[in-house]
Chain A
Amino acid sequence: MSGIPVSVCRACGWRGFPARLWCPRCGADHVGSDEVESGVVEARTTLRRAAGRVLDAPVEIATVALAGGGRAVVRVDGAGGARVATTVEDGAPVARPLHDEDDDEEA
């Protein structure tokens, strides 16, 4: 299983998602990548309607602060607390709660 691919500036260490070609912080053009496999949910929602109609299956969507830096919008698969494992499935960033009890401060 692979994580969410973030950009990592080889010059200053800035990290972010999605990929950049130049570092937004220092301007360097040697930006590599790293796969991040965990994060913390900052805010979440349940999408129930799109394009003017009710969805057959609501979609759980969240903003996740990725471990080490950067934020990603993800689909949340499964219930649980704010700490999540992060991966990519069929092109979609996905987060799975790491434990059931919600002892984290969830946004």
Chain B
Amino acid sequence: MAVEARIVGTGETPYLRHPGGDVTTTRLLAAAAREALDDAGLAPGEIDGLGVASFSLAPDRGVDLAFRLGLSLRWLMDAATGGASALDLLQHARRAVEAGDARAVLLVAGDRLDPPAFARLVDDYNSATRDHLTPIPTGGPNALFATLTRRHMAARGLDRDAYGRLVVAQRAWAGGNPNAAYREPLTLDRYRAGPLVADPLTIYDCVPVVAGADAVVVAAAGSRGVRVRGLVSSYNADHQDGDGFPTALAELRADLWDAAGLGPEDVDVVSVYDDYPAVALVQLEDLGFASDGDLAGLVERIAARALPVNTAGGQLSAGQAGAAGGMHGLVEVVRQLRGAAGDRQVEGARAALVTGYGMVAYRYGACANAAVLEAAE
């Protein structure tokens, strides 16, 4: 291939639990985008591709964001894949750059969803939700993932502490991320005593909604920047007919590692999509990080940082800024591979895994994707 696309810049706003009245989705997207451009050493006039994911940008769309930011483009994409949108965008942007359709693509995701807007979003998420879940009422996805977690506990012989240790480990990482919404240390005892949302899930098991945005720049950059060694995506793999686990990643696992020329044992840092701790563990098992099915052992490795997972706190501690949920993890592993992760830098990080997951078509996420990234030479 004549040109190889690389990730050459990242940006992320602080994640805000209580955004002020002047904080709008457009301004959050602009702030993350500007930071990513500065990081890449590119001026807005050098950007000729834009990809956008947001639940709250309406009535604007990608072209309107281009207008507001003064960008003139040859490539444009609106992603509607929620927590899978970052890798969805990356999958397409990478090929656009390598095919010559664009030279430098800005990918940006973010949301400001106040409580009424969030309630509208989850109640009218799609027609299946509007017609068959909202009348129950389910009040959003937490109850669905509570039943998924119950099935997971029974199938894998786990108790709540297995999830708790993951949550506590991520909170410890969040302490090193000044952008995270929740940074104060969390103990396993406090986790166990968390108020129930939908048993067995407590407030510590459900992503907190925040306002924020993330951005990356994908460009033809010679030997600079982070390489995409492999990237796989799946949509509606099982027609919502199963238990929600394994995810589609289990079937894509061989394709991903074959494309990357690496295996789970080669990965130095992981961002796994973590709307709920069970979903994070399911994906890690699907991709081969618990080859003997020993999830308790996997959690111990994560807690000991033998396997650095969600090193910016993940969404469970940093927060879920709507459609930025998937891009948070991508931004973090790129920072790690570029040696730019500050106090939480994983020394010598050369290879990373990032996953995306989302869009509950009815009972659980219908989208799953994963990428293996590698640091520049």
Contacts and interface: CB of A to CB of B under 8 A. Distances in A.
Nearest to A44: B147
A16 B241 contact: yes
Contact of A18 (B128, B139, B143, B195): B128
Interface string A52-83: 10010001011100000011111100000000
B146 to A, nearest CB: 4
B150 A44 contact: yes
B115 A61 contact: no
Contacts, number: 104
B59 interface: no
A80 B87 CA distance: 44
Given A44-B147, A93-B132, A107-B151, A50 B196 contact: no
Nearest to A91: B135
A73 B139 contact: no
Contact of A51 (B119, B128, B195): B119
Contacts of B142: 47, 49-50
B138 interface: yes
Interface string B114-133: 01001100000000100111
B140 A51 contact: yes
Interface string B125-168: 00010011101111110111011101100100000000000000
B136 A93 contact: yes
A45 B150 contact: yes
Contact of A59 (B137, B144, B151): B137
Interface residues of B, number: 36
B197 interface: yes
Contacts of A48: 195-199
Interface in A74-105: 74-75, 90-93
Contacts of A35: none
Contacts of A91: 131-132, 135
Given A61-B143, A61-B147, A45 B198 contact: yes
A63 B119 contact: no
With a 10 A CB-CB cut-off, give which of A24, A47, A74, A92 has the most chain B CB atoms: A47
A34 interface: no
A26 interface: no
A59 B363 contact: no
A67 to B, nearest CB: 16
B182 to A, nearest CB: 14
B131 A42 contact: no
Interface string B182-223: 000000000000011111110100000100000000000000
A13 B201 CA distance: 37
Interface of A: 16-18, 20, 24, 42-52, 55, 59, 61-63, 70-75, 90-93, 107
Given A47-B146, A70-B241, 4 more contacts: A42-B151, A44-B150, A61-B136, A73-B136
14 contacts: A43-B154, A44-B147, A46-B199, A47-B138, A49-B195, A49-B196, A49-B203, A50-B137, A51-B115, A51-B118, A52-B209, A71-B363, A91-B131, A92-B137
Closest A-B pairs by Cβ, 3 of them: A50-B139, A45-B146, A91-B135
